[in-house]
Amino acid sequence: MNTRKLKSFYSGYGLNRILILLSLLCFTSLPVMAEIYKYQGPDGTIHFTDRPMAGNYRLLWKSGKPSSSSPYSGTKFRQNKTRMTPLIERTAKQLRLHPGLLHAIVMAESAYNPQARSHKGAQGLMQLMPATANRYGVDDSYDPLQNLEGGARYMKDLLTEFKFDLKLALAAYNAGENAVRKYGNQIPPYPETQRYVEKVLGYYKKNINGMVN
């Protein structure tokens, strides 16, 4: 866990409290009363808190016992990741993409939740907008395999268009290829897109290191 990020968005309740909660979550199988919530803010920033957040924040997952108000628990996250991994790796092999890259995009987009839906209408594992889904023949964006194949083909096309510049392809995946072209084939000056690119690259690097090690 990056403690600088924790400090930046969670100064109100204390860093030590969160670190203790995360330690309990990661290193014990005993039930704990405290819960950790993972949210994505409107600017793309990821937030970990021990209390629900009000406002325009999208809940990615919550640790502890699932509830009707927050069905995507830490347990469900791990189950989904395990279930989706063979599909991700198969899709990556078919399209000759690095599986670590697809894992990184899925993690950033939906945290492996095939039922994820953003307030903008993006759907499924790779958060396909309806127009993109239609473009790549995806009839059901909540079908994990269809979503992965559509999103991966889109990513492959973006890599080709931007001459395999991964940063530009990721920026286009987030903001649209027209936005990248508008700014002279540079990452658009949108905070959400800039954070998204760095976040996915960070996940990708960790995935590669994990596969090597």
Question: Do residue 95 and residue 161 come from a single domain?
Answer: yes
Structure tokens at 62: 């919550």
Q: Which residue has the higher pLDDT, 63 or 129?
A: 129
Question: Do residue 48 and residue 146 come from a single domain?
Answer: no
Question: Do residue 18 and residue 106 come from a single domain?
Answer: no
Provide the domain count of the chain: 2
Cβ atoms of 52 and 24 within 8 Å: the answer is: no
Residue 62 has pLDDT above 80, yes or no: no
Q: Which of 68, 93, 125 finishes a domain?
A: 68
pTM of the model: 0.68
C-alpha angle 178/183/187, rounded to 5°?
90
Cβ atoms of 142 and 135 within 8 Å: the answer is: no
Q: Which helix (H) or strand (E) holds 38?
A: strand 37-40
Distances (CA, A) of 145 to 7, 78, 149: 38, 18, 6
| Predicted confidence (pLDDT) per residue in 180-210, tens digit | 999 999 999 999 999 999 999 999 999 998 8
Q: Which of 51, 68, 85 finishes a domain?
A: 68
Q: Is 192 an active-site residue?
A: no
Q: Which of 35, 89, 109, 149 is an active site residue?
A: 109
Give the residue numbers spanning the domain of 61. Answer: 3-68
What pLDDT score was predicted for residue 115?
A: 92
| Predicted confidence (pLDDT) per residue in 77-134, tens digit | 999 999 999 999 999 999 999 999 999 999 999 999 999 998 889 999 999 999 999 9
Question: Do residue 63 and residue 87 come from a single domain?
Answer: no
Best CA proximity match to 178, nearest among 131, 210, 139: 131
Question: Do residue 143 and residue 58 come from a single domain?
Answer: no
Question: Do residue 109 and residue 54 come from a single domain?
Answer: no
Distance, in Å, from the CA atom of 184 to the CA atom of 167, rounded to the nearest integer, reads 14
| Predicted confidence (pLDDT) per residue in 124-179, tens digit | 999 999 999 999 999 999 999 999 999 999 999 999 999 999 999 999 999 999 99
Residue 21 has pLDDT above 80, yes or no: no
Question: Do residue 195 and residue 98 come from a single domain?
Answer: yes
Question: Do residue 124 and residue 152 come from a single domain?
Answer: yes
CATH assignment at residue 124: 1.10.530.10
Residue 7 has pLDDT above 50, yes or no: no
